A and B are shown apart, each in its own frame.
Chain A
């Protein structure tokens, strides 16, 4: 047991050393052939059966990864040596270190072809810039704040407010009562058993007016002037007007019933498919 633990410890140290050497070679651009990849792979192989916990397996994977990087560097090294640019780096290093400043400059300027580029402004662009400057409005004019437009106070007549649809020409409660009377009259004329189909009552000559009637009907029902009877299977809705306004005292939760009033549906109705 003790031997096994010692073995593992030694194995971890060896793998860590391989990782550090590989990183060193890559980081300091050393000769990648300094590393004996085969011997290192043998070491990794030797200790692999010992690893059981994830940390050790990660260390093993990291070692393989670093060795693969060294192999890549070795391949690049060989490629570089095979190119015409290759010169012995140690010899080159030595030459650079020994070269005198002046000699180095002499060598360099023989192979240096500096780019020619002008940054000077031309007389044409200068003239154009002057023209632009002349036509440019001063800053205080360009950044002038937009003054708020003056709003005078005055009085508006009731008719004007009604025309602008800010006020109605009669009080809403009065309008609602009139609408209730109309409903009762319609039920008496066109309805059956004290009720009338929702579409028959609400739909009218224009779509706008139809929407308005639906809006008013919703208030009739909410305020207890009428109720809605729904037959889900037949997909039919009937409005039933009350004789008197009913005040709801029931503990029952009131529910909202969404009723679609699509323009397409209204158009169909208008074409004659009223029933």
Chain B
């Protein structure tokens, strides 16, 4: 193995450990943490890691602090961004059951997220509860919304308004969700 290859192989290992293993309450690792451990060339290391993950249907996702995609990020924006590993492709319905979510809970999450999007990103909790109660048992509705909040998909303020939270922004392609919903024939 050439010296350069060995150099990057070692950095690749470090980056994999940092990104795959849970370290903080919020998933992923901040850019500055990667720079501290791997070095200033961490964006290059992440690109190589991404190439390795591609055949496994995984990818390195960058979530910028600005909440929007940044085309040419600066060093500062990268340092403040959060990096994580996520599924690149789509799950099959069978697989979705394997990752610990019951179909009811997942449908509830989908409805809650879609409804908040339809309300421009903010909706009273009461309205979401009413909507979920149409198809889920009443006792489960409040419990499920609390769970979505706990997992970071939704956030709730002191006025009982629900917002989209960090996990939704990182994991859900909101535009594609809206497009797909509008295309459904119901």
Q: A interface vs B, CB < 8 Å?
A: 27-29, 76-77, 80, 84-85, 87, 89, 91-93, 95-99, 101-119, 122
Contact = CB atoms under 8 A, between A and B. Distances in A.
B9 interface: no
A103 B180 CA distance: 11
Interface residues of B, number: 58
A85 B174 contact: yes
Contact of B184 (A95, A101, A118): A95
Contact of B159 (A27, A89, A113): A27
Nearest to B59: A113
A133 B182 CA distance: 58
A101 B186 contact: no
Contacts of A89: 118-120
Contact of A110 (B99, B120, B180, B182): B180
A94 B184 CA distance: 11
Interface of B: 20-22, 27-28, 58-59, 61, 84-88, 90-93, 95-96, 99, 103-104, 106-107, 109-111, 113-115, 117-120, 122-124, 127, 131, 134-135, 159, 167, 170-182, 184, 186
A85 to B, nearest CB: 5
A109 B103 CA distance: 11
B22 A117 contact: yes
A87 B106 contact: no
Contacts of A28: 124, 127
Given A109-B95, A117-B21, 14 more contacts: A27-B159, A85-B174, A92-B117, A92-B118, A93-B118, A97-B131, A103-B186, A105-B93, A113-B59, A113-B61, A113-B172, A114-B87, A116-B86, A117-B20
Contacts of A109: 90-93, 95-96, 106
B181 A110 contact: no
Contacts of B88: 113
B119 A116 contact: no
Given A101-B135, A112-B172, A114-B99, A95 B186 contact: yes
B184 A112 contact: no
A84 B175 contact: yes
A116 B171 CA distance: 10
28 contacts: A27-B124, A29-B120, A77-B120, A80-B120, A92-B178, A96-B115, A96-B131, A96-B181, A99-B186, A101-B103, A101-B107, A102-B103, A103-B184, A104-B110, A105-B93, A105-B103, A108-B106, A109-B90, A110-B90, A111-B176, A111-B180, A112-B171, A112-B173, A114-B86, A115-B171, A116-B87, A117-B84, A119-B21
Contacts of A87: 118, 178-179, 181-182
Contact of A115 (B85, B104, B106): B85
A116 B20 contact: yes
A85 B119 contact: no
Given A104-B111, A105-B106, A111-B172, A29 B123 contact: yes
Nearest to A108: B110
Given A104-B111, A115-B84, A117-B21, A99 B181 contact: yes
A107 B109 CA distance: 12
A85 B178 contact: yes
A28 to B, nearest CB: 6
A70 B41 CA distance: 48
